């Protein structure tokens, strides 16, 4: 291998290349695995998105990446509606658990309320806040 390797900050396209190479490798290791993005949106009568959930089914679990509800529409059950639908989809895809992460200034209590178990905390990440990791086993 050449000693003239150059280390630099890659572009979004290069990040996609690296991500796809890891996905290819993983597919060889777990040939019967699946990867499917599951994205849900709630729209109002005007067609505006007021809440959404971005997730992916990976092998035997679902990973929730983002759950967002517009501030003026919080505390009326929209987050629960999204979580319930995500769990329903996860079960239909034979997922055995759901995992996610959130910050102390976001929604750790929301997830606890719906049966998600705290599995790890990183304190002061970001400074002055905590980073929580949750898991919910599906039956």
User: Which domains does the chain possess?
Assistant: 35-137 (3.40.630.30)
Q: Note the pLDDT tens digit of each residue in 60-71.
A: 999 999 999 999
φ, ψ (nearest 5 deg) of residue 100:
-165, 170
Residues of the chain with pLDDT under 70: 1-2
Neighbour order of strands in the sheet with 49-58: 35-43, 49-58, 61-69, 97-103, 130-137, 117-123
Query: pLDDT value at position 14?
Result: 97
Query: pLDDT value at position 1?
Result: 65
Query: pLDDT value at position 15?
Result: 97
Q: What is the pTM of this model?
A: 0.84
Query: pLDDT value at position 33?
Result: 80
């Amino acid at each position: 291998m050449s000693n003239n390797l150059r280390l630099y900050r890659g572009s979004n396209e290069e990040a996609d290349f690296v991500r796809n190479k890891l996905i290819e490798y993983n597919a060889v290791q777990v040939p019967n695995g699946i990867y499917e993005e599951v994205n849900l949106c709630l729209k109002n009568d005007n067609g505006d998105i007021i809440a959404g959930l971005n997730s992916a089914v990976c092998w035997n679990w679902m990973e929730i990446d983002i759950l967002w509800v517009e501030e003026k529409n919080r505390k009326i059950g929209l987050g629960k509606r999204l979580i319930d639908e995500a769990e329903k989809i996860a079960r239909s895809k034979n997922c055995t658990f759901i995992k996610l992460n959130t910050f102390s200034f976001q929604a750790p209590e929301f997830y606890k309320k719906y049966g998600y178990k705290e599995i790890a905390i990183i304190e002061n990440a970001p400074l002055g806040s905590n980073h929580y990791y949750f898991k919910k086993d599906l039956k």
